[in-house]
């Protein structure tokens, strides 16, 4: 078996592990919701139960005292979910390394490889956040997007592992594209947080379609303000990286094509992404735009990121049209 074939198998294995993680995260989120509702019902029932004078024992709670919190259950599903997420991320990392060895270069020179590394970065950001705080509520959605991206990459964007065009044979391929991938991974996790913010805020506002039992899991999601703060911090970091992406791309363009800016479709849409997120950060910090307006800004920004990656490479022709899907060319 060749190294490139082993890399593909490992990507499929990573997608399988992340699918298991997706199911386990969903089970954990659902069970925690049920336990919370039941605990509330029991506490409410105990609070309404009259207590006879002198009936309370020394070991029981005093009349009128708040009900004791139930013991935290073992979250076995959450443990399985995190373990399989770590496993899937590790398998994906090995697959990326093997892809680079098979191609003899940095493994992010076409759409397939960008998909793999971008997915890995999103998973790494999610796992890194969990080291410092419990954000496992993001798990079903980060894992779900990761599986979607990996399957899409394998079935739509896959190309054989080959070398790159002369214009891409430069150390800026490592720096410029690597930073862009890192920013994209952070944007992905921030997007998930903003979508959850919109859903939780709509449920709290009484949206009828979100009051159904099937959306009860939203009660386990943090308050909209907490989700907004998380998304803002992530987007601020990703914005700095994206700024460096544009600057690095301009420097690389001057080396490769003799000009810093040429209104190439990829350059234009990279700038559009920068403008959208710059407007979001400015509006939120100086204009007081928060809540749903800020969250929708993030959704629009991430849609621009996805179009910059897919639509620009597949629809437009330009110096950055290195999708790798035609005639074995490679993507930048």
pLDDT of the residue at 206: 87
Q: Do 99 and 161 form a contact (C-beta atoms < 8 A)?
A: yes
Task: Please tell me the distance from the alpha carbon of residue 211 to that of residue 218, in angstroms, as a whole number.
Answer: 10
Task: Please list, in sequence order, all residues whose beta carbon lies within 8 angstroms of the beta carbon of residue 229, skipping any fewer than 6 positions away.
Answer: none
pLDDT of residue 69: 42
**Same domain membership, residue 269 and residue 207:** yes
Say what the pLDDT of residue 110 is. 87
Query: Which pLDDT belongs to residue 38?
Result: 45
Residue where one domain finishes, among candidates 126, 161, 196: 161
Find the DSSP H helices in 49-106.
Answer: 76-103
Largest CA distance in the chain: 90
Q: Tell me which of 144-153, 168-177, 225-234, 307-316 is least confident.
A: 168-177
Among 144, 161, 178, which residue terminates a domain?
Answer: 161
Q: Which tokens in the block code for residue 186?
A: 């952070």
Note the Cα 291 to chain centre separation in Å. Answer: 20
Q: Over 80: is that where the pLDDT of 332 sits?
A: no
**Chain segment 111-137, per-residue pLDDT in tens:** 999 999 999 999 999 999 999 999 999
Q: Give the list of residues 6+ apart from residue 317 with CB closer than 8 angstroms, or none.
A: 265
Q: Are residues 30 and 112 located together in one domain of the fold?
A: yes
Confidence band of 22 (pLDDT split at 50, 70, 90)? very high
- The separation between CA 206 and the C-alpha centre of its own chain, rounded to angstroms, equals 27
Q: What is the pLDDT of residue 32?
A: 61
pLDDT per position as a tens digit, 177-186: 899 999 999 9
Mean pLDDT for 297-304 is 96
In the chain, alpha helices (H): 3-48, 76-103, 111-132, 139-152, 172, 178-204, 224-257, 265-286, 292-309, 311-315
pLDDT, tens digit, 9 for 90 and up, residues 243-285: 999 998 888 888 877 788 888 888 899 999 999 999 999 998 8
Please state, in angstroms and rounded to a whole number, the distance separating the CA atoms of residues 132 and 82. Answer: 14
Pick the last residue of a domain from 161, 179, 206.
161
Enter the tokens of residue 247: 């600057």
The closest alpha carbon to 143, from 158, 169, 125, belongs to 125
Residue 65 has pLDDT above 50, yes or no: no
Q: How far is the C-alpha of 320 from the C-alpha of 73, rounded, in Å?
A: 52
Specify the pLDDT at position 285: 87
Please give the Cα distance from 227 to 197 (Å, whole number).
6
DSSP 135: -
Rg of the Cα atoms in the chain:
24
Q: What is the pLDDT of residue 106?
A: 87
Q: Measuring CA to CA, which residue among 89, 117, 77, 98 is closest to residue 14?
A: 89
pLDDT of residue 74: 60
Residues 143 and 175 reside in one and the same domain: no
pLDDT in tens, 178-215: 999 999 999 999 999 999 999 999 999 988 888 888 88
**pLDDT band for position 138 (50/70/90)?**
very high
Residue environment code for 104-115, b if the CB has 16+ CB neighbours within 10 A, otherwise e: ebbbbbbbbbbb
Is 169 contained in some domain?
yes
> CA dihedral in degrees (124, 129, 135, 141; nearest 10)?
-30
- Poorest-confidence range of 8-22, 34-48, 148-162? 34-48
Structurally, the chain folds into a number of domains equal to: 2
Q: Kindly state whether residues 118 and 236 are assigned to the same domain.
A: no
Full residue range of the structural domain in which residue 13 is found: 1-46+78-161
| Within-domain flag for 290 | yes
Reported as a single tens digit per residue, the pLDDT across 77-105 is 899 999 999 999 999 999 999 999 998 88
Answer yes or no: do 172 and 124 share one domain: no
pLDDT confidence of 40, banded at 50, 70, 90?
A: very low
Give the whole-angstrom CA distance, residue 181 versus residue 170: 17
pLDDT of residue 314: 83
Which residue in 154, 111, 180 sits closest to 16, CA to CA?
A: 154
Task: Tell me the whole-structure pTM to 2 decimals.
Answer: 0.83
Cα 142 to Cα 281: distance, rounded to the nearest angstrom: 23
Give the C-alpha distances (Å, rounded to integers) separating 51 from 56, 57, 61, 70.
7, 11, 11, 20
Percentage of residues in the chain with pLDDT exceeding 90?
Answer: 55
pLDDT at residue 287 tops 80 = no
pLDDT computed for residue 182 by the predictor: 94
64 located within any domain:
no
Q: Say whether both 238 and 132 belong to one domain.
A: no
Please tell me whether residues 254 and 123 are part of one structural domain: no
Q: What are phi and psi of 258, to 5 degrees?
A: 80, 15
Split at pLDDT 50, 70, 90, the class of 56 is very low
The answer to whether residue 60 sits within a structural domain is no
């Amino acid at each position: 078996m060749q190294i490139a074939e082993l890399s593909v198998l490992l990507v499929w294995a990573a997608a399988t592990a992340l699918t298991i993680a997706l199911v386990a995260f969903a089970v954990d989120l659902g069970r925690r919701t049920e336990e919370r509702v039941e605990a509330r019902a029991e506490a409410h029932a105990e609070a309404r139960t009259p207590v006879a004078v002198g009936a309370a024992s020394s070991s029981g709670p005093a009349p009128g005292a708040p009900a004791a919190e139930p013991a935290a259950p073992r979250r076995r599903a959450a443990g399985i979910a995190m373990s399989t997420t770590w496993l899937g991320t590790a398998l994906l990392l090995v697959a990326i390394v093997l892809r680079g060895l098979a191609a003899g270069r940095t493994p992010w020179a076409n759409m397939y490889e960008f998909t793999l590394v971008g997915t890995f970065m999103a998973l790494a950001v999610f796992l890194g956040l969990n080291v410092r705080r419990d954000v496992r509520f993001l798990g079903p959605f980060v894992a779900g997007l990761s599986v979607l991206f990996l399957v899409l990459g394998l079935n739509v964007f896959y190309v054989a592992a080959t070398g790159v065009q002369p214009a891409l044979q430069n150390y800026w391929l490592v720096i410029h594209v690597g930073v862009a991938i890192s920013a994209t991974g952070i944007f992905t996790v921030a997007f998930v947080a903003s979508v959850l913010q919109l859903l939780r805020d709509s449920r709290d506002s009484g949206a009828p379609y979100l009051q159904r039992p099937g959306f009860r899991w939203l009660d386990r999601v943090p308050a909209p303000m907490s989700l907004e703060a998380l998304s803002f911090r992530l987007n601020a970091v990703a914005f700095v990286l994206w700024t460096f992406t544009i600057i690095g791309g301009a420097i690389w363009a001057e080396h490769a094509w003799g000009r810093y800016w040429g209104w190439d479709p990829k350059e234009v849409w990279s700038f559009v992404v920068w403008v959208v997120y710059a407007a979001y950060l400015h509006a939120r910090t100086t204009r007081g735009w928060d809540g749903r307006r800020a969250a929708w800004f993030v959704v629009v920004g991430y849609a621009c990121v996805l179009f910059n990656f897919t639509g620009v490479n597949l629809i437009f022709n330009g110096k950055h049209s290195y999708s790798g899907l035609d005639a074995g060319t490679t993507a930048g």
